[in-house]
Amino acid sequence: MNSEKLPSNLGRFSQNKLHCKQMKHHLPKGISYLPATNADIPSAQALIFQVLEEYGLHTNDESLDVDMKDIEQHYGAGYFGLLKNEQESVVGTFALYPESADSFEIRKMYLLPEYRGKGIGKWMLNFLIEEAKTKNAQKVTLKTASVLETAMSLYRKTGFDEVTCSSCNPRCDRAFELKL
């Protein structure tokens, strides 16, 4: 691998692998994860918009995706990950955005339809929670859309409580919080 293409957060990659090995749930065979770089923005954004359109959610408001213009800058103190299949195609995204020194927001958690129902969403959620813990977070928040009923069920099963959505937008009308 060319060292010029290494992500700035690669030093945390080994730590991420360690805490994922400690997790009870594993990714299915043929699916791998890695930290994203700005070079991955086009493929990550294409997947995100594909899933949003599938659910009839807005993709034409650039103000909702400012963080996708420079993921290394916006997620440098958090994490932005990609899931790839054996053909190296991006099949999922998941991110942890720093809100404050002790609070992180789960963002950009999307999977292509053919990869749902296999426990991958649960893996991504647990990965991000564990990542937040390594950063001494006291809580993890997230915003989602009412049409994503399966996702909201997963959040509740994981211990998230629904809270008032103070900064909702046309894409997200529900909010959840997990105290760590």
Name the region of 66 (left: φ>0; alpha: ψ -120 to 50; beta: rest). alpha
Q: pLDDT at residue 3 above 50?
A: no
Angle at 84 between CA 171 and CA 150, to 5 degrees: 40
Angle at 101 between CA 139 and CA 138, to 5 degrees: 20
What is the reported pLDDT for 61?
65
pLDDT band per the 50, 70, 90 thresholds, residue 65: confident
Q: pLDDT at residue 88 above 70?
A: yes
Q: Which CATH architecture has domain 3-137?
A: 3-Layer(aba) Sandwich (3.40)
- Cα separation of 35 and 16, whole Å? 10
What is the reported pLDDT for 52?
93
User: Which of 11-20, 48-57, 167-176 is least confident?
Assistant: 11-20
* Average pLDDT of the segment spanning 24-47: 92
Report the share of the chain in percent with pLDDT over 70.
83
Q: pLDDT at residue 40 above 80?
A: yes
Domain locations along the chain? 3-137
DSSP 104-165: EEEEEEEE-GGGTTSSHHHHHHHHHHHHHHHTT-SEEEEEE-TT-HHHHHHHHHTT-EEE--
pLDDT digits (tens, 9 = 90+) for 69-82: 999 999 999 999 99
* Average pLDDT of the segment spanning 77-105: 97
What is the reported pLDDT for 141?
97
Q: Mean of the per-residue pLDDT values for the chain?
A: 86
| pTM attached to this predicted model | 0.84
